[in-house]
């Protein structure tokens, strides 16, 4: 069985993009910092597992309603395209960012929690999901917003087989 078919890899990359693109609501220094990331971002890296494959991504962060940011991204790998979109906001009551995302493949939805660390913002996504191929997958992704860069560090484990998929995708502002 090919545990790393194009659809599975596409869903996993979509989950990674979701982790990197969610923003919470409310004004203040947190949102001022987040707004510095508005613009178009390009990234490329390698998805590895039983096979290594290149992945290229594009992400747009735009001002949303009120003090929210919207994001819209697309990644290409192994002939498949993955689209993700969502909203990022600052949640004052919880003192953290939340990035809600939806993927066009597999109906994957998720929320990444973001914490400010000095001039950086780190988003963390931990989730268990099923893809369209019947695989139960545990997803872990971290997104680091730091200065003029964004980085995604992504890990997925297929719970039944124990197979793993990893990706590191650095982004730069286009």
The domains of the chain are located at 6-173
- Note the CATH architecture for domain 6-173: Beta Barrel (2.40)
**Is residue 17's pLDDT more than 60?**
no
Residue 41 tokens, joined: 């971002």
Tens digits of per-residue pLDDT, 81-92? 888 899 999 998
Tens digits of per-residue pLDDT, 41-78? 999 999 888 788 999 999 999 999 988 999 999 999 87
**Is residue 16's pLDDT more than 70?**
no
Confidence of residue 4 (pLDDT cuts 50, 70, 90): very low
Mean pLDDT of the chain: 81
What's this model's pTM, rounded to 2 decimal places? Answer: 0.77
Q: State how far the Cα of 68 lies from the Cα of 96, in Å rounded to an integer.
A: 13
Q: State how far the Cα of 138 lies from the Cα of 158, in Å rounded to an integer.
A: 7
Question: What is the Cβ-side half-sphere exposure of residue 74, based on CA atoms within 13 angstroms?
Answer: 4
CB 106 within 8 A of CB 23: no
């Amino acid at each position: 069985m090919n545990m790393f078919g194009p659809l599975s890899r596409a869903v996993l990359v979509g989950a990674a993009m979701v982790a990197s693109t969610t923003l919470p609501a409310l004004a203040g220094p947190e949102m001022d910092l987040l707004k510095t990331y508005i613009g178009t971002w390009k990234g490329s890296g390698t998805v590895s597992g039983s096979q290594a494959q290149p992945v290229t991504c594009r992400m747009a962060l735009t001002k949303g309603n009120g003090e929210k940011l919207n994001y819209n991204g697309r990644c290409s790998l192994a002939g498949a395209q993955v689209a993700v979109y969502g909203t990022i906001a600052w949640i004052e009551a919880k003192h953290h960012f939340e990035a809600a995302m939806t993927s066009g493949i597999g109906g994957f939805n998720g929320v990444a929690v973001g914490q400010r660390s000095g001039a950086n913002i780190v988003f963390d996504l931990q989730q268990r999901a099923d893809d369209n191929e019947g695989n139960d997958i545990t997803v872990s992704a971290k997104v680091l917003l730091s200065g003029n860069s964004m980085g995604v560090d992504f890990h997925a484990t297929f719970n039944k087989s124990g197979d793993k998929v990893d990706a590191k995708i650095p982004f730069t502002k286009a």
